Amino acid sequence: MRYLTDRKRAVGAGSAHSGTAHHWSMTLSSAALAFLVPVWLYVFGHALGASRADVMATFARPFPAIVTGLVLVIAMRHFAKGSTMMLQDYTHGSALKCGIVFVYSLAAVIAATGLYALIKIAL
C-alpha cells in the first residue's frame, strides 16, 4: 500500500498539472510587456504625425522594427492565454471550445497581419 500525504498529492500544479507553468508564462509575458510597451510607445509616438516617408524610415531601422515585432508577438500570446483562462472560468462545453478557437485565431491573425506590415516596411 502506498501512503501519500495531502502535501504530496497537491504537488504537481493542480488537476491539469499545468497551472504553475501557465502562471509563470503569464507572469513572464506581462513583465516583458511592462518594459517593451513604454519603449514601443516612445518609438511610435515619435513616428506619429510624421510624413509617410519619415514613418517608413523609422520602422525600417532595426531597433524600432524589433521592438514592434516583439510587442506584437508577446502581446498577442499574452492576450490569447489570458482570454483562454477567462473563457475557461465562465463558459463550458462547445461554447468554450469555439471561444478558445476564436481567441487563438484572432490573436494569430492580428500578429500575422502586423508582422506582415512590419516586414513590408522594413524590406
| Residue 7 grid coordinates | 502535501
Q: Which residues of the chain are under the pLDDT cut of 50?
A: 13
> Which triple of cell numbers denotes residue 45?
509616438
> Cα torsion for 40, 43, 44, 46, to the nearest 10°?
160
Cα–Cα–Cα angle for 112, 117, 119, rounded to 5 degrees: 90
With beta carbons less than 8 A apart as the criterion, state whether 81 and 72 touch. Answer: no
Contact indicator for 117, 56 with CB cutoff of 8 Å: no
pLDDT of amino acid 13: 46
